[in-house]
């Protein structure tokens, strides 16, 4: 029987008042506490408004006790989830009336085979303010009430959320306990390393190391390790996976050990797909059922694009690895209660306009015309919603949230979830917004400072016996990759249709362009094959290369040597086009300076016709999108390519006639037809039924069944970190800074890609020296991301970005600095070690938005290991600032209107920070004095933003 548990009754609004939130509103549930009689009034109220309040036993499929999610133990058990939290029984007794019950247990209902659950009813608070709360905020409120124990979450915290209209403009902090944590292997490996070292610390302190476990479900998807070593080959998937396992056997074995050693941890093996697409199609629960208590799924992930799951009605966003580890261990996250802005968007997208294009429109509207309120997205497919939600960090939002509606339910059915898991919210959507930055348009040549006499330069070379040429702006990498678009059947099949039409007309991608297709899950391959379109993608060079994040995170592999030489020898500004979500310079590939984002059909289309002279849209320091004049004029009125696709041909067909853009671009009807006939529920069911079984290479990994990890001192992948060595029961307390040197002096918009080790390991870097000394050949260096489990490598890779600009170098670009006492120019790591050896502290000077970009724990761990004690900046990205605090680095903000330049600071001074030595004397946001040995003195704000951070 088709049954529903309507979460509207939990998150919808009502009228009444809560002048005060009594302790009865703040108790921790430890068992099904609402008896039929105590909940009768709530049930009666909701039965008047909604008729079908039964909860089908089929919803058990959403519980971890099912093989669908196997975390080693049933995380629903009191011992694994709740025993660590204090329970006040008298308080819980008074709270019974706050629990609404779905249905009532009787003989007739049991005969129907149904199960009944209880949930925390927001209307039972009887407060008219709840009616005005955006739905994303109601998720936070429900969590706060459910977890309120007046210890970690207090009644004052609940009141702050209820009073959101007044508190959100004040940047008020609240605690939040997510239902689960999501990791990928780049960030997951160091998290598991830290857990393993915590167990060692527990052992050394004379306690039981088995007590160290995640207290909430943790899903770790191994997706960031595959590289595009082999492309344009039918054997690319197998070949790349074999190389992936050769490089990462230690890491994979370590993660496999962790999946069995720790409770509540599920590891999805490599070759399964991209973390966010797997989350969307498989891991997302939508509704949790813990011992009969129902509550909304929510998740924080160690990747900024965790926000993709918001398209499914699951509240989620990206955090740093340090925050994620705290959440894993049951500590509430400290977050700023977000404000919400929105706009009204209705109607269907016109032909040729994809969700990727829509993202830019969303960005423009949010930044230009941000209006407090809500907006409807009923016409958008779930995949399009997920695309928009995925890109939340790019338009400055904490998350772009789409509550559950009929579209969500259709998607759950499509992806093989049970029909009876019909969990319903209302249909208004909201963006919870953080900071945003200004945008600007910069022409290609001026943006890359190409002299006028060089703009038409052509570099001719021979590619495998064929004549070839490159000029500024020529595409050398074209990749359909990343979670943003590969989860969207419309754009993936649209790319296939473009390839089909191009093949039929005789167009083809230049052979020296490195093309690749990396689906986000095995389902994509199944529907591309079902549609018959994969063969056309193959003809154009877009063979499947693997299942995981590839080009979009810098795992694009090496270019052909002839192409690389042509670029380097002629100083060509080569381009990459990818369907990703980030394109910082140096991120996609070290040799492609111009990197552009596009929807998959445009990635395919731009390959044969791209000739340079584009215009970039810059947003938060990354060029945001590249798209055709046709779409740009429709959406923004901006010409972003030097070819007018409406009037100029894009190539010549096999019949000698000109081919125009319209000749190969599919209509929305064509795309809809192939989606309907090719994307089938059984594809999702069969793909994910086998996902936890792994693959032969994964299953052959042999790991010990031990509580403690046996560290290998010779390993260059997994190394015991120093954080917990010599740990004492009592914390050391706050520290000031005395006569510190400036390690590096930065301007505005230093991203975590600049700070944290990422991408390939340069042959002349300190990390390369370390590996060579340990017998690792250059060809086996792998990437920094793959070696995140080794603090020795990562510390050496901190500030090693080849494009970083350090003011101490007087305009020179590169990963070096000046050792102030001697004036020597050294790699940043080498200079830091000189300071540490001499017992000298260091600080960092920076401009605005320090630490923007993807959340990276090593952007805070690395500087801590280098000996950095404080960062003084104009402003910080919120996650990075919190991570600095987590690693014991003091974040300080210059006063408004001031920075290092206006204060006349060169970075050659020595700095002292007068921080109180007693924690009781420090308050969030208080002022401190910074003095230099040159006699300068200025006031900064200490960015310990909450009492939780101080604690």
User: Exposed, middle or buried by CB within 10 Å (0-12, 13-18, 19+), for 169?
Assistant: exposed
Interatomic CA distance for residues 908 and 807, integer angstroms: 11
Buried b (16+ CB within 10 A) or exposed e, 40-49: eebbebbeee
Interatomic CA distance for residues 390 and 382, integer angstroms: 12
Contacts of residue 317, Cβ cutoff 8 Å, sequence gap at least 6:
300, 301, 304, 306, 307, 310, 392, 398, 399
Cα distances (angstroms) measured from residue 421 to each of 20, 417, 613, 772:
36, 7, 51, 54
* Alpha helix (H) residue ranges in 481-616: 483-486, 489-505, 522-531, 534-539, 561-570, 600-609
Other Cβ atoms less than 10 A from the Cβ of 395: the count is: 23
Concatenating the DSSP letter of every residue in 179-212 gives SEEEEEHHHHHHHHHHHHHHHHHHHHTTS-GGG-
Picking from 141, 55, 50, the residue whose alpha carbon sits closest to that of residue 101 is: 55
Cα distances (angstroms) measured from residue 859 to each of 523, 828, 880, 881:
34, 14, 7, 10
If residue 77 lies in a helix (H) or strand (E), which one and from where to where? none
Distance of CA 11 to the CA centre of its chain: 26
Other Cβ atoms less than 10 A from the Cβ of 553: the count is: 25
For the record, the structure tokens of 147 come out as 């977890």
If residue 256 lies in a helix (H) or strand (E), which one and from where to where? helix 236-261
| pLDDT, position 10 | 31
Judge whether 458-611+636-677 and 737-949 match in fold: no
Interatomic CA distance for residues 785 and 552, integer angstroms: 13
User: Exposed, middle or buried by CB within 10 Å (0-12, 13-18, 19+), for 264?
Assistant: buried
How many C-alpha atoms does 545 have within 13 Å on its Cβ side?
A: 30
Q: Which CATH number fits domain 178-336: 2.40.50.100, 3.40.50.2020, 3.40.50.720, 3.30.499.10?
A: 3.30.499.10
| pLDDT, position 951 | 76
For the record, the structure tokens of 835 come out as 């300071």
List 162's β-bridge partners, or say none.
Answer: none
For the record, the structure tokens of 802 come out as 């080849």
Buried b (16+ CB within 10 A) or exposed e, 567-583: beebebbbbbbbbbbbb
CATH architecture of 737-949: Alpha-Beta Barrel (3.20)
Helix (H, G, I), strand (E, B) or coil at 714: coil
| pLDDT, position 187 | 86
Query: How big is the chain, counted in residues?
Result: 951
| pLDDT, position 338 | 81
What is the four-CA torsion angle of 278, 280, 286, 289, rounded to 10 degrees? 0
The pair phi, psi for residue 212, each rounded to 5°, is: -85, 105
User: Exposed, middle or buried by CB within 10 Å (0-12, 13-18, 19+), for 763?
Assistant: exposed
Interatomic CA distance for residues 488 and 276, integer angstroms: 12
Task: Identify whether the C-beta of residue 746 lies closer than 8 Å to the C-beta of residue 845.
Answer: yes
Helix (H, G, I), strand (E, B) or coil at 351: coil
The mean pLDDT values, 10 residues at a time, for the chain of 951 residues are: 30 32 38 30 30 30 37 37 30 36 37 63 89 90 92 90 91 90 92 95 94 95 93 96 92 95 94 95 92 92 91 91 88 82 52 58 52 51 87 78 89 80 45 38 59 88 94 86 84 90 89 93 96 95 93 89 96 85 76 78 53 29 29 23 62 86 85 94 92 87 92 94 88 85 95 87 93 93 87 96 91 93 97 97 96 83 96 90 90 96 96 87 91 96 83 76
If residue 360 lies in a helix (H) or strand (E), which one and from where to where? helix 355-369
Concatenating the DSSP letter of every residue in 423-439 gives E---SEEEEEE-----E
| pLDDT, position 393 | 78
Helices 355-369 and 489-505, packing angle to 10 deg: 130
Q: Which residue ranges make up each domain of the chain?
A: 120-176, 178-336, 339-429, 458-611+636-677, 737-949
What's the whole-model pTM score? 0.78
Contacts of residue 140, Cβ cutoff 8 Å, sequence gap at least 6:
161, 174, 176, 315, 337
- What is the β-pairing status of strands 658-659 and 651-652? antiparallel
Cα distances (angstroms) measured from residue 641 to each of 450, 453, 574, 766:
17, 21, 15, 40
| pLDDT, position 417 | 81
Topology of domain 458-611+636-677 in CATH is Aconitase; domain 3 (3.30.499)
Topology of domain 339-429 in CATH is Aconitase; Domain 2 (3.40.1060)
For the record, the structure tokens of 896 come out as 């408004």
- The sign of the CA dihedral 644, 645, 648, 651 is positive
The pair phi, psi for residue 921, each rounded to 5°, is: -95, 0
For the record, the structure tokens of 365 come out as 């509207």
């Amino acid at each position: 029987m088709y049954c529903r548990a309507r979460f509207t009754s939990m998150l919808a609004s009502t009228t009444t008042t809560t002048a005060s939130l009594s302790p009865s509103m703040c108790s921790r549930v430890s068992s099904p506490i609402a008896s039929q009689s105590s909940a009768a009034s709530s049930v009666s109220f909701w039965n008047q408004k909604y008729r079908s309040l039964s909860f089908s036993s089929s919803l058990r499929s959403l519980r971890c006790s099912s093989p669908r999610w196997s975390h080693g133990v049933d995380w629903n058990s009191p011992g694994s989830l709740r025993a660590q939290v204090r329970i006040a029984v008298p308080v819980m007794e008074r709270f019974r009336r706050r629990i609404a019950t779905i249905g009532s247990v009787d003989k007739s209902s049991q005969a129907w085979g149904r199960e009944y659950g209880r949930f925390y009813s927001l209307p039972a608070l009887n407060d008219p303010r709840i009616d005005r709360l955006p739905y994303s905020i109601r998720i936070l409120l429900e969590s706060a009430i459910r977890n309120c124990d007046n210890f970690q979450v207090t009644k004052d915290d609940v009141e702050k959320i209820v009073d959101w209209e007044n508190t959100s403009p004040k940047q008020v902090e609240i605690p939040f306990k997510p239902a689960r944590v999501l990791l990928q292997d780049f960030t997951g490996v160091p998290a598991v390393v830290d857990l393993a070292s915590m167990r060692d610390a527990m052992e050394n302190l004379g306690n039981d190391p088995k007590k160290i476990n995640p207290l909430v479900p943790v899903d770790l998807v191994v997706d960031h390790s595959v590289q595009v070593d082999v492309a344009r080959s039918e054997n690319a998937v197998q070949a790349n996976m074999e190389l992936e396992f050769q490089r990462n056997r230690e890491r994979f074995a370590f993660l496999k050990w962790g999946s069995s050693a720790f409770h509540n941890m599920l590891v999805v093996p490599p070759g399964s797909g991209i973390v966010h697409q797997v989350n969307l199609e498989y891991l997302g629960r939508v509704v949790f059922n813990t011992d009969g208590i129902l509550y909304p799924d929510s998740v924080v992930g160690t990747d900024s694009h965790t926000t993709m799951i918001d398209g499914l009605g699951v509240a989620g966003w990206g955090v740093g690895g340090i925050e994620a580890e705290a959440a894993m261990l049951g500590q509430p996250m400290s977050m700023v209660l977000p404000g919400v802005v929105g706009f009204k968007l209705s109607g269907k997208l016109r032909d040729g306009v994809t969700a990727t294009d829509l993202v830019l429109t969303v960005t423009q509207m949010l930044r230009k015309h941000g209006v407090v309120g809500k907006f409807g997205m009923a016409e958008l497919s779930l995949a399009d919603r997920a695309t928009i939600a995925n890109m939340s960090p790019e338009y400055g939002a904490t998350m772009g949230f789409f509550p559950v509606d009929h579209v969500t339910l259709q998607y759950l059915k499509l992806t093989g979830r049970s029909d009876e898991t019909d969990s319903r919210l209302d249909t208004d959507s909201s963006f919870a917004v953080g900071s945003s930055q200004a945008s600007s348009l910069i022409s290609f040549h001026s943006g890359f400072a190409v002299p006028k006499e060089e703009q038409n330069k052509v570099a001719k070379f021979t590619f495998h016996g064929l004549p070839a040429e490159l000029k500024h702006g020529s595409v050398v990498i074209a990749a359909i990759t990343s979670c943003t678009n590969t989860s969207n059947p419309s754009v993936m099949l649209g790319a296939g249709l473009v390839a089909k039409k191009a093949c039929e007309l005789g167009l083809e991608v230049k052979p020296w362009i490195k093309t690749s297709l990396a689906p986000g899950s095995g389902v994509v391959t199944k529907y591309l094959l079902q549609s018959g379109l994969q063969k056309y993608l193959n003809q154009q060079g877009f063979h499947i290369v693997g299942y995981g994040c590839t080009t979009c995170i810098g795992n694009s592999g090496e270019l052909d040597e002839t192409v690389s030489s042509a670029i380097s020898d002629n100083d060509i500004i080569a381009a990459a086009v990818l369907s990703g979500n980030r394109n910082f310079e140096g991120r996609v590939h070290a040799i492609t300076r111009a990197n552009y984002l596009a929807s998959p059909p445009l990635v395919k289309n731009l390959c044969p016709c791209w000739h340079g002279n584009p215009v970039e849209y810059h947003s938060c320091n990354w060029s945001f999108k590249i798209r055709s004049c046709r779409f740009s004029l429709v959406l923004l009125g901006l010409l972003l390519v030097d070819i007018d696709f409406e009037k100029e041909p894009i190539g010549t067909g096999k019949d000698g006639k000109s081919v125009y853009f319209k000749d190969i671009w599919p209509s929305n009807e064509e795309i809809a037809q192939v989606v309907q006939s090719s994307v089938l529920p059984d594809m999702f069911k069969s793909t994910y039924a086998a996902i936890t079984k792994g693959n032969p290479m994964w299953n052959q990994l042999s790991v010990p069944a031990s509580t403690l990890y046996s560290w290998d001192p010779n390993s260059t992948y997994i190394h015991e970190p120093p954080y917990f060595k010599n740990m004492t029961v009592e914390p050391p307390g706050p520290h000031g800074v005395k006569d510190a040197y400036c390690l590096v002096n930065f301007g505005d918009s230093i991203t975590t890609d600049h700070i944290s080790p990422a991408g390939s390991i340069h042959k002349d870097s300190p990390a390369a020296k370390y590996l060579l000394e340990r017998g690792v050949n250059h060809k086996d260096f792998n990437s920094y991301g793959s070696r995140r489990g080794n603090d020795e490598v990562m510390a050496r890779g901190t500030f090693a970005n080849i494009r970083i600009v350090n003011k101490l170098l007087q305009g020179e670009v590169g990963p070096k600095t000046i050792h102030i006492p001697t004036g020597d120019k050294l790699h940043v790591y080498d200079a830091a070690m000189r300071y540490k050896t001499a017992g000298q502290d260091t600080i960092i000077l920076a401009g605005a938005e320090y630490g923007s970009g993807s959340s990276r724990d090593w952007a805070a761990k690395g500087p801590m290991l280098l000996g950095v004690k404080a960062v003084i900046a104009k402003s910080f990205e919120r996650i990075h600032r919190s991570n600095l605090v987590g690693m014991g680095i003091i974040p300080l903000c210059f006063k408004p209107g001031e920075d290092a330049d206006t204060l006349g600071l060169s970075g050659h001074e020595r700095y002292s920070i007068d921080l109180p030595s007693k924690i009781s004397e420090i308050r969030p946001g208080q002022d401190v004095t910074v003095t230099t040995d040159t006699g300068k003195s200025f006031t900064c704000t200490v960015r310990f933003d909450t009492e939780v951070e101080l604690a």
